[in-house]
Structures are given as C-alpha cells and as structure tokens.
Structure 1
Amino acid sequence: MMLKIFNTLTKKKEVFSSIFLKSVNIYVCGITVYDYCHIGHARTFTVFDMIVRYLKYSKYKVQYIRNITDIDDKIIQAANLNHESVVDLTNRMIQSMKRDFLNLGLLKPDIEPRITLHIQDIILIIQKLLEKKNAYISKNGDVLFSISSYQNYGILSRQKLDQLKNSTCYSNKFFAHDFVLWKKLDVQDTPNWNSPWGLGRPGWHIECSTINDKYFGKHLDIHGGGVDLLFPHHENERAQSTVLYDVPSYGKYWIHVGSLLIKKNKMSKSLKNTVFLHTLLKVYDAEVIRYFFLLTHYRKPLLYNVNNLIQSKISLRKLYIALDKLDYNHSVLKTEFSLKYQDFCIKFYNAIHDDFNTPCAISILFSLLKAVNISITQNNMCVTMQLLYQLKHLSNTIGLLNQNPSVFLKKNDKL
C-alpha cells in the first residue's frame, strides 16, 4: 500500500509523491518564543517527529526545517513586562524550548533558523513582491500585501474573498485583510532594522515565506503546523510564495494537526488553562506523553485528560514488560521474519500509510502483544523472539519502545 496523506489544500487523501525521488523537504512553523512551550506545541511537533521518523525509515532523505520566530509583538510585550531585553527573553526561551524538546525525545530539525538572522533575506522578498505589484506602501509607511492581487486567495482555508468584511477603519489599506510585510517604526521603537522603507521590522507571515525561499526555493513537499495557523497565517504565507514564484500552487502537501483541548476549551492564557511542557515532563515519562498524543489521529482535536495519560502509562508498561523478554542473541533474530507472522507488519504499515493512522497502528501492536503472550504460554521461544523483535521494530518506526525496558519499567513502576 502506498502512503496517502490528507492534503488540507485539496481536502482529500492523496498518494504521496515527493518532488525529487526519495528526497523530502519538510517545513513546520515553529514557536514564537515569548513564553515556555506548552503541550499544544508538544503535540504538534510530536506528530511531525513521527512523520519524519517514518519517512526516514522508508529510506527518504529528509530535510526538516522548523523556524524560530524571535521577533513579534507578543515577544516585545513579554520582554517589557519582565523588564528585560528582547534578546535576553528570546535567548532564554529558546534554550528552554530546546531543553524541553530534547527531554521529550524529539529529533532535532536539520535547520532551525532564527528570524532575526534573516532580516536582509526578508527585505529582498518584500522588494520582489513590490516589483510584482502584489504589495504596496500604505499611507502610514507600512508595506502591505494586497490579497486582491492574488486571485486564488482563500483556497487553502476555504475563505471567500468577497465574504471577508471590509471596514472603513482600515484607512491605510486597500482591503481590510491586506497584511503587513514590513511594519514602519520610529527610532525609539526597538528592536528595529534599516530597510528601503525606513526603520522597521518584518510582519509574521513573510518570515516563513522567506525561510522557505532561502532553503527550499520552489521545492517544498510538506508544509505543516497546527490547525490554528491555517487562517490567516498559512493562507497568507501560501499567497506570498505562490505569486513570488509564479506557480499555480506553492507547497505540495499541507498537513495540519488538530487542536489540543482542556475541558473542551482551547488552551489559552486568557482562560488560565495552559499546561507547560516542562511541567508535564516532571510527572510523566516522555514516551508516555508521546503515546498519549499518538492514540488520537493527528487531524482530530485531542482532549487533555490526566486519566488518559495514566492509562497510556499502563498500556505502555504492558508493551515494555513483554519487550523485557527479548533476547537479542537469539538465533531467530538473524533471519527474516517468517511469512507466517508478516500479517502484523502488513496491517501496521497499512495503518500508517492511511494518513498516518497511529491509533490503528497502535492497536496492531497490541494484537502482536497478544500473539506474544500466546507463544509464551506455548513455550515457543523462537516464535516469541520473532514476535517481540517485530513489536520493537514496528514501534520504533513511530518513535515508541526506544528505551531499555528495565530502565523504563523501573522509572515507571508506580501508576
């Protein structure tokens, strides 16, 4: 079965075919580093970690980029509130983010560019958009993207341009939803950078288009992020990049991870229901958290629930208890899997190939565990070792059962 991915752009599952043979370019919108990483971030990046791992297992050469937004209104506000510089705040939050993701067991991106190190690249892209008449300089000096200059605006998020409300309060804009590429600032407004349009700083959406242009050019296979970024961020980013390259569509597959909910509400600071990742990692093993995330299909909303985390721990312990019996020196491991037991592999891969259906794949792991337990009662050591090896091998492809079983079980002996 060939890998199929649900493409947000077409709203259907499509057979995956990379632009270059056995090579995949993946860009995922990273964190705006004004605060600590929360579990919503953790879910999104765990999903893409799973996708990257599986593509690598499938022998693709993967180039994975996840940016860091280190200049933004929220960052400036947080720095002022903390009475520290923007640089001090962002450096501190970036170190915290990297520590959290390392502790969560995520693979490092191949490139993790900071936006402030690409200001000149951003300026060049804005100049090109101005030359192509897709951008204009407003009365107050801001450089804006003209969404009416792009006829397919709204196709990604299914927004209709004629239904987006205009307003007279946007006197500096041609259209209410035209968005900032370069925000003009006064000298006292820091941080700022020189540009052909005076002192200022970049808008949010142009940042991701620039990073993609810098490292991938036109050749972007997978663009990902949380579903909350679909509109306006990804819609705006895609509009910029599409007109920049004069292509029918920029980004071959768009993948969006569902929201994380707490008591049926979206996690937000205003509701005071934010759960930070470093807090959760103090209570639960990273792999328990990963297992909990993968138990729900990535496109569906995930309800954060302590009871479900506890159940994830119990389930993962069952897999590790069985895996603790694996003898790597057993002769059966030197041979290919017997055709008699290939059925588990086929079903597992079929699940993953169906838009990364990890809940179904995990259910196959437990069917495999059941077969392991039966073979143990029958005292059939060769079959047991072969099944256990399959259990570990399949789990590893999505980032599970990577720990030494005895170490995991010792750390997670209490429920």
Structure 2
Amino acid sequence: MNIPLLDLKAQYATIKDEIDAAVADVFASQYFINGPKVAELEKAVAAYSQCAHACGVSSGSDALLIALMVEGIGAGDEVITTPYTFFATAGAIARVGATPVFVDIDPVTYNIDPEKIPAAITDRTRAIIPVHLYGQMADMTPILDLVKSVNLQRETKNKKPIHLIEDAAQAIGAEYKGHRAGSLGDYGCFSFFPSKNLGGAGDGGMVTCQDKDKAEKLQIFRSHGSRPKYFHKWIGGNFRLDALQAAVLRVKLNHLDAWTAKRQHNAARYNRLFAASGLEIAFTADVDWASYDRPQVVLPSAVQDRHIYNQYVIRVQNRDGLRAFLKDNGIGNEVYYPVSLHMQECFSYLGYGEGDLPQSEQAAQETVALPVYPELNDAMAEQVIEKVKAFLVEQKI
C-alpha cells in the first residue's frame, strides 16, 4: 500500500461536518478580515499556549517578521539563530535589514546549542531566535539566563536589550519544564501552514506574548501600522489573518491534543518496531557525536517534557539512497533540511564556509522524516519499518 508522508484528507474526513459548518458561518456573516472569529481564535491559542495575548497574522513567516519589526530591529543589528531550520527564520532577519548570525545545533534535539550562543553575542546583537524544531522545544533555561544577564549589563549602560523570539512554528503545545512553546520569550511565533500539527486551509500564523504593550503594538503593525484608521505612527504591513482560516483553526484546536497523543503513540510504536527489527539502533541522546561511528539508524530522543512530533526524524548514512528506495516502495518521506542556511547561496555574503557549523551540516546530510500523522495505523507503521530495514540490510549500512 502507498503510505503518504501526511494524509490531510484522512484528517478532514473525521471533522468534515464541523469544518463545513464553521466555514458556512463565516460566509453567512460576510466578515472575512479580522473580526470575531479571529479574536476567538486568538483568545483560545493564547490560553492553550499559556500566554496573556495572541495576535493572528497571515503566516508563520510574517509572525517572525512582525516580531522583529515591532522591536525596531533592522540595519546594523545582529540576530542570533540556528542554521538548521526552515528558511523563514533567517529570511525574516534579512528582510528587516539585520544580519543573521548562525550558531550550531545540539545533535540530540536538532535545536540551537545554548553553550555556543555566548560566543556569538556582540554589542550589535538585538535578538536571539531559538527554533523549537520537529515539535520539541530548545533548551530554554540557559538561553533565558543568558539574555537576562546580558540585558542587566546593558541596562546599566543604557543600551538596547536583547529580545528573545521563539520560533514555535512546529511546536504548538510542546512543553519545556512545564512551560508551553511561545510562553517563555518576548514573542512566540506560530505557523498554521496546512501540514503543521495545527494546520489551516491555507497560510496563517500567530504571535503570542505576555506583555500588553507589545500585544497592542502587534495589532497595530499587522494593519500597516495604522491606529486610528488612516493615521500611521509606524510602518507596518498587511499581516492580517483571514476569518476563514481562524474558523477552521478554531475547530481543529479542539482536536489538537488528541492528534498529538496519536503522534506520540506513533513515535513510540516506531521506536518499538525499530528495537525489534534486528537493526543496530541508537537514540540521538546516546550517540557519541564527537566520533564518526554511527549505528545503522539513529532515532529521535524526546528529552523535553512534551514532544509533539511535528516530524519523526531518523538519521542514516546513505540518506538519499534510503529516500529513493522508500519512494519506489510507495512510502512518503521528506528531508528537513537538505542545505544548512549558512551554506545557502543567498547568505554567501555572511562569509560562512563548509565545516563552520558541522553538526548542522551533518544533520542536513543524514536526516529523513517518516510518516507520523495521527491516522497512521499499525499495518502502515510496520510496512515503513520493514522497508527501512530491507534497504539497510541490503546495503549493509
């Protein structure tokens, strides 16, 4: 049987009546921009994410962009982030005119390595953007402590602070020491792209925060910086969330925890099947990453409180060969991400070279995501593992 990487039709079939009714309600109201549906979703996402405020925006990319814009970050400023992430993270930094500064990843979680951040901070650093990749939060305590310490020093010198912006595009509902993604930084940025755990019927995003003044400014900036109408103190953008998307997402939010539990179940089942496969396996937390000695398969480690498994990512040495084999056998898979951002052509002006950020570069060469969506059943999961094993045994990897 063919097994897709993600089956949104299967999801829709379970909530079709709810979705159709919500969409019909929006059409009946003819209220498509902002309005009560968006406000209702904002309130619900804020509560779900343990935040005081939330502002619906047009995409996860624009969520990052507006957070930087609200803080006036731009030309001459530096923003520290990870090179192992979707392009939008660094793209937003460059779009406001600031300079991305890349810090290598922790190979256990694929998130930014907190120990490497202090060396990257300069007087020009205005923000740090940790990415909660694949559904697991970054190690936030040392990052929070670092930002607090630096900002205390800057306050005594009357210098601008460093802002902490969480890229939580893949992590809604993930937790770190009891705190939800998006609740620990100055801002939390979420994506509702259709393939996300909470996905809309098109583009959409959300910015969360705890500060009332920041929340009000977000609302202003998403509508061209206008308040009152036609009066502009700031230059914002057209970052509004459609009411249709808000209505769809509000329905789906009610099901999110059940879907997350199924993803976690599927990840645990994969782990059991791999353990029983006879393959040489290890978890990322158990690998000696300073050496080049690898088992046949490296499985993801859930080291934080709540991993929501936006993706289930394994590592193999002949990743591209495995991908081709799985495709030929009808099994969906994907690489997130094949080129580390510091090696992208558009960022060549930053001066990075091959070998500068080795953990990120190696992950880009070895990782592949397997289907983990909630509707994946036992037979499907068994077939996925069977085909992975068949390739690795045949290739003697």
Q: TM-score range by the shorter chain?
A: under 0.3
Larger radius of gyration: 1
More helix by share: 1
TM-score, normalised by the number of residues in structure 1: 0.24
Higher relative contact order (CA 8 A, sep 6+): 2
